[in-house]
């Protein structure tokens, strides 16, 4: 049975996408934990501000780990995984941007 390069690239794209989703999950837990820590020290509803800024700015926070990840995959010539990370980051940006606009529009 021959190994088809198209299937291999699709597998790499899916793997890169899932890697990014796992890193997004870790980032979400870190933002949540940071909010809890801030809430313990400052009290009131300061934790909510950390969560709101973290959620609304996630489009930009993801760039802190997406850009180095893409550059690493490019350097290793793993273009399928690189494409998966880029697709995942684009979908995340579009969903985050749509939620941001819907929140301000009052929808």
Model confidence pLDDT, tens digit, residues 84-101: 999 999 999 999 888 878
User: Which structural domain range is residue 71 located in?
Assistant: 20-105
Domain count, the chain: 1
pTM reported for the whole predicted model: 0.83
Residue 13 located in a structural domain:
no
Both tokens of 92, joined, read 């995340």
Residue 5 located in a structural domain:
no
Distance between CA 84 and CA 96 in Å, rounded?
Answer: 18
Residue 2 located in a structural domain:
no
Q: Please give the distance of CA 56 from its chain centroid, rounded to a whole number.
A: 12
Distance between CA 81 and CA 69 in Å, rounded?
Answer: 10
Alpha-carbon distance values, 14 to 8, 58, 77 (Å): 10, 22, 16
Q: What is the pLDDT of residues 20-40, one digit of tens each?
A: 999 999 999 998 999 999 888
């Amino acid at each position: 049975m021959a190994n088809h390069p198209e299937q291999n690239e699709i597998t790499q794209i899916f793997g890169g996408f899932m890697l990014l989703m796992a890193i997004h999950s870790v980032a979400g837990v870190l933002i949540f934990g940071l909010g809890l820590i801030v809430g313990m020290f400052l009290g009131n509803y300061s934790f909510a501000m950390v969560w709101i800024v973290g959620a609304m700015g996630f489009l930009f926070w993801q760039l802190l780990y997406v850009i180095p990840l893409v550059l690493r995959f490019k350097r290793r010539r793993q273009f399928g995984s690189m494409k998966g990370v880029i697709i995942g980051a684009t979908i995340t940006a579009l969903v985050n941007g749509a939620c941001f606009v819907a929140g301000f529009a009052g929808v």
